[in-house]
Amino acid sequence: MKVGYIQTSPFFGDKKRNFKEIEKLTAKLRADLIVLPELFATGYTFISKKEAESLSEGLDGQTAQFLKDLSKKASATIVGGFIEKDKDKIFNSAMIISGSELLGVYRKLHLYYKEKLWFVPGDKPLKIYEINGIKIGIMICFDWFFPETARTLTLLGADIIAHPANLVLPYCQKAIITRCLENRVYAVTANRIGRETRGEDNFKFTGESQITSYDGKVLSSAPSDKASIDLVEIDIEKVRDKKLNEFNDIIYDRRKDYYLS
């Protein structure tokens, strides 16, 4: 299975320009799974809820159509972040698309910093999407900080976790190694680069998008300051064996009776 990430520096609020940049980067791209950053088409640093709402979309909006086109061109399943509008609510969401079909939408459970001022916390359970026998789970950015997210996706059967992100804290890339190791899953973290200074906030995004193996090895790491794409071949069968050795299985060895929920 060939999986990859796209790392860009979005122009705030300019969806068409951001789409064109990705089209140039992916002109000859072919893969099974491609992950784009969180809010890749809009930028991140909003100054009001009204501004975030103005960039929101339904499930048949510009971003969905762009991802459907990209999915068909690359013959790939695509996961990418967007601002989802649902009646009078907006969510920090990611859609998963295969060909011309929208398979589903994940709404970020753990909102970071001022996201709590703009977005409603995710209200849908974590879910697995099975495409051609491969089981894909989704989490968004700050969800990594909560081990329960990756563990729940693992218990649901995830082979690989798609992780759109706009990371500003310096910890995630190293922590994802532990998330993959403790769950024996692959992860594709698609981060962004650049700086956004708007209102009172001045965010510098860390880049270093990463493909991480079930055994804790970093299979790909992007630069911290350059637009980048990369693809890696992975062996899904490896993650379906949760044994560390002949005596230890990371799922069956859990002592659930002694854990707090």
Cβ partners under 8 Å of residue 106, min gap 6: 93, 94, 95, 96, 122, 124, 126, 127, 138, 139, 140
The confidence score (pLDDT) of residue 80 equals: 98
Contact in structure between 106 and 93 (CB atoms under 8 Å): yes
**Residue ranges in the chain modelled with pLDDT below 50:** none
Q: What is the pLDDT of residue 148?
A: 97
CB-CB contact of 45 with 12 (8 Å): yes
Confidence (pLDDT) at 99? 87
- Taking the C-alpha atoms of residue 21 and residue 140, their distance in angstroms, rounded to an integer, is 22
Active site residue 108: yes
Which pLDDT score, from 0 to 100, does residue 261 have?
73
How many percent of the chain have pLDDT more than 70?
100
One-letter amino acid at 126 equals L
Domains, the chain: 2-258 (3.60.110.10)
Q: Active-site residue among 108, 135, 180, 208?
A: 108
CA angle 58, 34, 159 (to 5 degrees): 100
> Which one of 141, 180, 196, 208 is the catalytic residue?
141
User: What is d(CA 72, CA 45) in angstroms, rounded to the nearest whole number?
Assistant: 31
Distance, CA of 130 to CA of 13 (rounded, Å): 33
Determine whether 180 is an active site residue: no
Cβ within 8 Å of residue 192, ≥6 positions away: 7, 8, 9, 10, 37, 38, 40, 44, 165, 166, 205, 207
The active-site residue out of 21, 38, 57, 208 is 38
Residue among 161, 204, 162, 206 at smallest CA distance from 184: 161
Kindly report, residue by residue over 100-141, the tens digit of the pLDDT: 899 999 999 999 999 999 999 999 999 999 999 999 999 999
- Report pLDDT for 170: 97
